[in-house]
C-alpha cells in the first residue's frame, strides 16, 4: 500500500526536529505557526528560545506582548505572533481538540487545525500544505491548479492516509515534499512511491502542478532619519493593527513622486514628530525585501538639541543604542543600525 511504503521510508529518513520529540498540542501549534512561510533551519532556534521562555500556554498568556514579540523578532509575518498571543490569552491553558473549535482561533486555518489534530491528538486528518499538495498533484498526474483539482488531491490524500498513524503520515509527506519531491527538483528513482506516481512517468515531473508566474516585486522609496538627542536616539512603536505591528522603528516614510529624499525626510519627520530637522546628514542607502515588495531606504541622521516641540501620537522612546537590544525591531531597522555602526 502507498501509505505503508511512505511510512517505511519515513521511519528511516525522517528529519530530527525539536517539535517532533513531543505530541504536546501547544508545542505542535507553535511550531506549525512558526513554520508558515519560513524555512525549518530558521525556525529551530526561534522555537527553542520560545519554549524556554514560554513552556506552556499559561506562561505565554501571562507574558507581556512586547516581551513575546522580542522572541519573534526577525521571523517575519508578525501577525502570526499577535494571533498566537491573543489565542493563548483566550484559552484556559488548553488547546481545543476539535476542528470546529480550533478553526475559530485567530491565526489557525484549515491546514494548521488538521495538522495539530493529526500530530498531537492522533485524529484522522490530513493538513494539506504546499508540500503535501505538490506531492498529491504529482501522484495523480494533475497539472492545472483549480479548486476542483485541489479538492481531488485533498480527498485522495485522506483516502490513502494510514488511519493508525495520521501524524506520521502527514509528516512523511511533508518530508518527502521537502527532500525528494521539491518544487524545483525531484529524485524519483529513490522515491518510495514512484510506482504510484503518474507524474514520474512523464519526461518532466516538475511540470506537475503548473507553476504560477511570479509577479514583479515593486520597490518603495523611503526616507528615514536616526534622530539623536543627548546620545539617545528616537524610536517609535508601530501601531499594533498595522504591518510589523508592535515593532520599534526609526521615524520616516515614503518619498512622494517628484520629491527629493532630503525634502521627504524633513517632511516625514515633521509630520510624525513635529520636530523640524534642518540639513539632516545623508548616510547612504539601505535595501530590504519583504514578501510582496522591496524597500530602498535613504538613511539620514540628525542631532537635535531642542526637542521641546516633540509631539508623537504613537508610543516612542529615547534610548541608547544598547537599549535597542531589549526592543523588537524590524529587520530593515537592524540593517540601518548596522550601517550606522559601520560608519563610526
Instruction: Give me the active site residues, please.
Output: 32
Are 31 and 43 contacting, i.e. CB atoms less than 8 angstroms apart?
yes
141: left (phi over 0), alpha (psi -120 to 50) or beta: left
Binding to ligand SF4 by CB under 6 A, coded x per residue (else -) over 202-221, reads ---x----------------
Nearest distance in Å: CB 184, ligand SF4: 12
**Which phi and psi (to 5°) does residue 256 adopt?**
-75, 160
Choosing from 57, 199, 224, 295, the residue that interacts with ligand SF4 (CB under 6 A) is 199
186 binds ligand SF4 (CB under 6 A): yes
197 binds ligand SF4 (CB under 6 A): yes
Choosing from 27, 138, 302, 304, the residue that interacts with ligand SF4 (CB under 6 A) is 138
Nine-digit cell at 313? 501620537
Closest CA to 13 of 188, 190, 136: 190
Part of the chain binding ligand SF4 (CB under 6 A), chosen from 69-77, 158-166, 197-205, 294-302: 197-205
Nearest distance in Å: CB 193, ligand SF4: 5
Instruction: Give 138 or 261: the residue with its C-beta nearer to ligand SF4.
Output: 138
Instruction: Give 167 or 205: the residue with its C-beta nearer to ligand SF4.
Output: 205
Nine-digit cell at 38? 519560513
194 binds ligand SF4 (CB under 6 A): yes
Are 211 and 250 contacting, i.e. CB atoms less than 8 angstroms apart?
no
Nine-digit cell at 90? 483566550
CA angle 128/289/332 to nearest 5° reads 115
CA angle 169/46/63 to nearest 5° reads 110
Q: List contacts with ligand SF4 (CB under 6 A).
A: 135, 138-139, 180-181, 186-188, 191, 193-194, 197, 199-200, 205
Amino acid at each position: 500500500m502507498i501509505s505503508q511504503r511512505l511510512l517505511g521510508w519515513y521511519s528511516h529518513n525522517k528529519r530530527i526536529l525539536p517539535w517532533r520529540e513531543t505530541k504536546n498540542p501547544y508545542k505542535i501549534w507553535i511550531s506549525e505557526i512558526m513554520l508558515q512561510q519560513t524555512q525549518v533551519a530558521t525556525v529551530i532556534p526561534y522555537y527553542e528560545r520560545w519554549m524556554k521562555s514560554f513552556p506552556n500556554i499559561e506562561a505565554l498568556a501571562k507574558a507581556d506582548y512586547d516581551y513575546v514579540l522580542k522572541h519573534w523578532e526577525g521571523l517575519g509575518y508578525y501577525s502570526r505572533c499577535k494571533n498566537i498571543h491573543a489565542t493563548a490569552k483566550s484559552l484556559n491553558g488548553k488547546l481545543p481538540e476539535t476542528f470546529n473549535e480550533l478553526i475559530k482561533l485567530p491565526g489557525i486555518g484549515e491546514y494548521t487545525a488538521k495538522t495539530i489534530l493529526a500530530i498531537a491528538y492522533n485524529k484522522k486528518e490530513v493538513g494539506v500544505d504546499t508540500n503535501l499538495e505538490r506531492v498529491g498533484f504529482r501522484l495523480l498526474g494533475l497539472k492545472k491548479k483549480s479548486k476542483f483539482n485541489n479538492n481531488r488531491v485533498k480527498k485522495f490524500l485522506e483516502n490513502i492516509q494510514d488511519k493508525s498513524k495520521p501524524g506520521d503520515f502527514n509528516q512523511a509527506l511533508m518530508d518527502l515534499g521537502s527532500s525528494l519531491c521539491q518544487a524545483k527538483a525531484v529524485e524519483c528513482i529513490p522515491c518510495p512511491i514512484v510506482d504510484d506516481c503518474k507524474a514520474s512517468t512523464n519526461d518532466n515531473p516538475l511540470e506537475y502542478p503548473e507553476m504560477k508566474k511570479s509577479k514583479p516585486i515593486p520597490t518603495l522609496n523611503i526616507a528615514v532619519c536616526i534622530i539623536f538627542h543627548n546620545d539617545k536616539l528616537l524610536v517609535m512603536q508601530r501601531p499594533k493593527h498595522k504591518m510589523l505591528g508592535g515593532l520599534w522603528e526609526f521615524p520616516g516614510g515614503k518619498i512622494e513622486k517628484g520629491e527629493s529624499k532630503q525634502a521627504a525626510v524633513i517632511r516625514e519627520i515633521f509630520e510624525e514628530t513635529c520636530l523640524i530637522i534642518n540639513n539632516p546628514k545623508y548616510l547612504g542607502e539601505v535595501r530590504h525585501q519583504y514578501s510582496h515588495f522591496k524597500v530602498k531606504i535613504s538613511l539620514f541622521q540628525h542631532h537635535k538639541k531642542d526637542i521641546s516641540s516633540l509631539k508623537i501620537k504613537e508610543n516612542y522612546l529615547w534610548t541608547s543604542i544598547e537599549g535597542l537590544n531589549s526592543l523588537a525591531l524590524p529587520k530593515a531597522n537592524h540593517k540601518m543600525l548596522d550601517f550606522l555602526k559601520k560608519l563610526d
